[in-house]
Structure 1
Amino acid sequence: MHPESALVEASNSPGNAANKRSAPRADPVKPVLAVQNLSIGFKGINSNLVDGVSFSVAPGETLCLVGESGCGKSITALSLMGLLPSPPAEITSGRAAFDGKDLLSLPKSEISEIRGDRIAMVFQEPMTSLNPVYTVGEQISEAVRRHRKVTKAEALDRALEMLKRVRIPAPEKRLKEYPHQLSGGMRQRVMIAMALANDPSLLIADEPTTALDVTIQAQILKLINSLQKETGTALIMITHDLGVVAEVADKVAIMYAGRIVEAGPVGEIFENPQHPYTLGLMSSMPSLAKRSGRLVTVAGMVPPADAMPNGCRFATRCPFYTPDCSRNVPHLSQLSEDHAVACFRVPLEENIGEAAS
């Protein structure tokens, strides 16, 4: 990846789409969730798979966790939901403040009361999350009765209401159907209906559109955005697709090999990417602008969990590499009030000539 061409390509990335999103709130708002210094290790592996991750999300706000497969995004989400198997997983440090409690230290009984009620999750593939032997109505109503003192009839009424809310056609009919009778887009709408049935304060969506075709992806994203505006729910969207980020995000946290390497408002990240990894992701995105030559690629792969490099974990793939990158760990530092970057070479514009020579 040539550094100068990467910066040029990044300027032609989906930044204009990102500007459609409203600017972050000027007034400080108490976050729904505040994660501080979260680290997760696995038995038999020396390095943390998630290492010192911090972020927050406020009511009505969308935070996108972005990165390649294997960067630790889903592990982070599962740890917040209390769904990581332990062993082999172990939370080695950190705090996740939610409603005056630390999610990471709650007993299983208490986290199970929060999960599906105050915090809900939409997974990537609904066919692995929906039970094939129960109807859609039974599954949504079960989620309601698990956390609300209502009758079976009242829970079914709520299930029907939610199917209407997520714009499923012929909801009365779908209520009695099984998951295999629905299309992929409708199954994902059912998952969203189930997740929102108890009016959660926080919704975590893990690659919710990856398994869908482009047209249905757009419909699901529009639906999630619309429902979020109606309810004021905070949203954490996990994705590797910068097109999705440009469409839905207020804030972005770029993850690489278990660490957040850049974070800030979506507009600033798209307009002024400062970490070499972010720059590579931006440059690899197709653009409607006139191009000369091929898309830029990020050479190499995310290091395996049992072979994390010392220092900066992106050092082996970085065009701005110096020996110091392998000796020391770069920590997030403020480039501006809201924009933080973990790189020794920031601002990158001042290092182009040296890296390219």
Structure 2
Amino acid sequence: MAAQRQSPLLQVENLSIRFDGAPLGINVVDNVSFSVAKGKTLCIVGESGCGKSVTALSLMGLLPTPPARIVGGTANFGGRDLFSLSERERADMRGNQTAMIFQEPMTSLNPAFTVGDQIIEGILRHRRISKAEAKERALEMLRRVRIPAPEKRMRAYPHEMSGGMRQRIMIAMALANEPQLLIADEPTTALDVTIQAQIISLIRRLQDESGMAMILITHDLGVVAEVADEVVVMYAGRIVEAGSVDAIFEDPQHPYTIGLMGSVPSLGRRQGRLATIRGTVPSAEMMPKGCRFMPRCPFADERCVNDAPPLAELEPGHWARCWYAPLELHRGGIV
């Protein structure tokens, strides 16, 4: 895939991840490549089970090994290949130069310690400052994420806070050491719609202030349209479409991307039933021989059954993995 106009902060090339026991040659993440530049947001989109979170965990060095194993590819971050670092080097980088926000803050925060102690611990791990200075930094972060009465909240335990408040705490922890790259894995999934909007707005504001790069993993195309610069659509471990947010939303070229677009409800008057994508993401044991989307694709034919399409560049910066892209030329203008 072509590089972004800006020099990328993170460049992932041909990342492949396999789980022990999977059929020979079947990877849960298969030859995935993308990049993200400083100050930019890359959104990775797809259903549960498509490999989004596994990709993110591999970049953070958090994949459980075994059963997961990186079997190919590189991830160049600031001139260093993340996959060649020692565990000590990864720990020094994690929470400092790179940070991650997870889906469910209640399982990410330690229920036995106050939120203040947990933020302070992360600061002291990476900064040579006194505990008093770390406490002041923690208070500053709570103010930045707009936690009311931060001095009081420093002494609170996670169970004493709402879901939205806990997610704000997680954001404060992630950004306390001013990382260059933030990975946010479905950060609003467990929250109600109003709080979701507040959290996304908060993350965007903090990104604008710091200039950090962000990888946002989500299935919410409304969020993607609002925050993304670049979009990667994944299905069954492979990238099926990638490009700028404008290219993906204005001219989607993979049947899976089109299906995702059609399944999003609108605020206007309903014009009929929402589109659905029949079936489910295949397991490793049931992976099709040809195109992995073939069993669910309304346009699949014999070629799709037998041959896996390459990820081809349709126009500068816009890629799709479909034998019949551009679809308007080969499938009678289905877009």
Do they fold alike, i.e. is TM over 0.5?
yes
- Deviating beyond 4 angstroms after TM superposition, the runs of 4 or more aligned structure 1 residues are none
CA contact (8 A) 1:332 1:342 kept: yes
Deviation of 1:354 (Å): 9.8
- Per-residue CA shift, 1:93-141, capped at 9, x if unaligned? 0000001111012111111111111000000000100001111110001
* CA distance in structure 2 between the partners assigned to 1:71 and 1:285 by the alignment: 19
Task: Pick the aligned partner of 2:98 from 83, 108, 119.
Answer: 119
- When residues 95 and 183 of structure 1 are mapped into structure 2, their CA distance, relative to the original with a 3 A threshold, is same
The amino acid across from 1:64 in the alignment is C
Q: Does 1:39 align with 2:6?
A: no
CA contact (8 A) 2:4 2:36 kept: no
Q: Does 1:239 align with 2:241?
A: no
The alignment partner of 2:14 has SS state of: strand
Deviation of 1:87 (Å): 1.1
* CA distance in structure 1 between the partners assigned to 2:322 and 2:189 by the alignment: 30
The amino acid across from 1:122 in the alignment is I
The amino acid across from 1:40 in the alignment is I
- Larger relative contact order, structure 1 or 2 (CA cutoff 8 Å, min sep 6): 1
Q: Map of 1:173-252 to 2, 5 A cutoff?
A: 173-252=152-231
- Per-residue CA shift, 1:36-56, capped at 9, x if unaligned? 000000111021000000000
* CA distance in structure 1 between the partners assigned to 2:295 and 2:59 by the alignment: 30
The alignment partner of 1:243 has SS state of: helix
Deviation of 1:353 (Å): 4.0
Moved more, 26-35 or 211-220: 26-35
Q: Which residue of 2 aligns with 1:48?
A: 27
The amino acid across from 1:259 in the alignment is R
* CA distance in structure 1 between the partners assigned to 2:252 and 2:269 by the alignment: 21
* CA distance in structure 2 between the partners assigned to 1:270 and 1:216 by the alignment: 25
TM-score w.r.t. structure 2 length?
Answer: 0.96
- Per-residue CA shift, 1:306-325, capped at 9, x if unaligned? 22111210011111101111
The alignment partner of 2:13 has SS state of: strand
Moved more, 140-149 or 305-314: 305-314
Moved more, 323-332 or 32-41: 323-332
Q: Which residue of 2 aligns with 1:257?
A: 236
Task: Pick the aligned partner of 2:111 from 104, 126, 132.
Answer: 132
* CA distance in structure 2 between the partners assigned to 1:80 and 1:27 by the alignment: 19
The amino acid across from 2:102 in the alignment is F
TM-score w.r.t. structure 1 length?
Answer: 0.90
Q: Map of 1:7-18 to 2, 5 A cutoff?
A: none
* CA distance in structure 1 between the partners assigned to 2:75 and 2:266 by the alignment: 37
* CA distance in structure 2 between the partners assigned to 1:351 and 1:237 by the alignment: 33
Deviation of 1:28 (Å): 2.5
* CA distance in structure 2 between the partners assigned to 1:138 and 1:354 by the alignment: 58
Task: Pick the aligned partner of 1:338 from 298, 314, 317.
Answer: 317
CA contact (8 A) 2:158 2:166 kept: yes
| Identity score, percent | 65
Task: List gaps (5 residues or longer) in structure 1.
Answer: 1-25
CA contact (8 A) 2:119 2:138 kept: yes
- Per-residue CA shift, 1:70-112, capped at 9, x if unaligned? 0000000000111111111111100000011110121111111
Q: Does 1:159 align with 2:138?
A: yes
